[in-house]
Structure 1
Amino acid sequence: MKKTVLAFSRVTPDMVERLEQDFEVIVPHPKHGDIAAQFNDALPHAHGLIGAGRPLGEKQLAGAGKLEVVSSVSVGYDNYDVAYLSSRGILLTNTPDVLTESTADLGFALIMSSARRVAELDAWTKAGNWKASVGAEQFGTDVFGKTLGIVGMGNIGAAVARRGRLGFNMNILYSGNSRKTALEQELGAQMRSLEQLLAEADFVCLVVPLSDKTRHLISHAQLKMMKPGAILVNISRGPVVDEAALIEALRNNTIRGAGLDVYEKEPLAESPLWQLPNAVTLPHIGSATSETRQAMAWRAMDNLTAALKGQRPQDLVNPQAFKG
């Protein structure tokens, strides 16, 4: 008898077709009624879950008696209660690496857009305000040759740093838990404490995972440490930044601007950020290219399939739960 896989988001017809070669697949659909009710009804039968974005812990999974694996189509896994999953022997997998370059592209796009006021001046032009040659009120700031500070020099942070150093001759600073000697040699990167980095960098790019330690890592005090002309870019997780503090800093011109792809509450239904011309706001699209999302989907399916066949998945978040 085939095992049952329950999909909960980011699952395409191609994915379903592939999964159906080995498993019974249940995909909740709006045409069949309430999505949450369909998910809860199917949960007791599921050996595996695949998708992204749904919080999953003891409250949501208490009735999932057959569950063996949660395969997340994402790099971040802060939506999942890892300790609870591990206590039940449920494997959790994610999809690292495959979205590194796409997310780094997006991070640098936010740097460029914020510095040169791309979104703001696009709206200004379309509103019919371009009557003559632009003046100082429309000027942006250079990126080339400036100092880029990376908070969290993992794979994505390193990819952003390479774009800055090799493409724009930027000086690279970084802060984190460990020294990156290879990147120091490759890019001339210099390690700093967070406080030093904030004081020196013209652009600060956040690329850290969300944890108790990094929640509100950037708040009132840290924003005041930044240069008045500096720009903050967040492509990590929304709660890494104290959003109220950032809004205040942008309103008061404590910093020059911000480029944001993530927020404390998503989707961003309404926000004071929308009224701030020095904030670029994107709808969490770091990995949102067709090529990258397909690669993530295939990686997630490989992880799911391995787990349900009793094999160790390639991308196992909680190895302590694997009993193979």
Structure 2
Amino acid sequence: MRLLNTFFFDMAVFPVYIYSIKQSLIQEGANIMKRLILSIALLICTSGAFAESVYYISSYGDGLVKLDGSQAVLLDKPSGSHFLSISSYPGNKLLVSNYASSMPDLYYYDYDGNLLQSIEVGKHYVKDAAFASNGNIYMAGFAGGYTNGQPNGGLMMYDGSTLTIPAFTASQLYATAVTSSNLIYVADYSYRNLFSYNISTGSIVTLRSSMSWSIGWMDLGANDTLYFNGPNRQVVQRLNGTSYYNWFSMSGVDILSLDYNDVDGYYYLLAKSLSDSTFDIFQLIDVNGYGQLVSAAPVVEDIQGLTHGSTFAGDWDMKIIDVPASVSIPEPSSMALLGAALCAVVRRFRSR
């Protein structure tokens, strides 16, 4: 009899069990959907998904250009200038180095190419320049020797008012790369050496000496890994401690520059075809320590408007900037308004 009572009791409450389970599943599903929507909104809001990836290119003969699709749009080319490097600078600015005498060495531009400031730090033929986390600009000066007792070339530091040369005085330097840990890689042209220089301690480590070729350009990838041009223009080298190896090679082109986009995690390679002299940009990804093309087709094909013919290592630079929509678009677009709305949703639910 007890067993029978238990049976009828279970049958009576069984619909309640089912209803409870159903409601729990509905509630959990709603929670999952809410978390999913919030996660997507947060990703869009914080990752700059509404930003525009803009390609900037500088070269010895073409000045500073910005790509509009496959068209190179000239932003600036002061008379007599030779722009060799582009780097990002705090405050949504571009820092461009000028390899020329009797005119400014550094130029600051906004993302639309408007000249904000130009500075002559000493007529030192600046090959490369980059901003460090200590607030200073470090430059690779090429001209060796002295002028009126002041050393030319070397690793130059500019703090906004004063130029000093903390290391490699009077050396002919071709390239520098400043890491997030205040370590600077330095390439010497004349003796074909590769050094690291510690900003904090001033210590210098010789990584490679008397190499068989000169390093003309450098770029930092993920985790501040150093990449640079190889002995021929079809190879990109990767530094591994004090040794290096062929990270990527591509036949039929001259590799002019490499840039790592830390937003999407891809590498972008500017190359000039040996067969028809066209300029293309290819997208690469690092797989187990080696570069691989994401697609055989370039992401930007047959760039128009680049006329500088030299493929000398160091004559070109490319920088990809993820420009916020608010910087390049004065009036709020529908996508920007959607992004703002999603950000508001995120803030509302986070405050609960």
Instruction: Please state which band the TM-score falls in when normalised by the shorter chain.
Output: under 0.3
TM-score norm. by structure 1 comes to 0.26
Structure 1 or 2: larger strand share?
2
**Greater RCO, 1 or 2 (C-alpha within 8 Å, sep 6+):** 1
Structure-2-length-normalised TM-score: 0.24
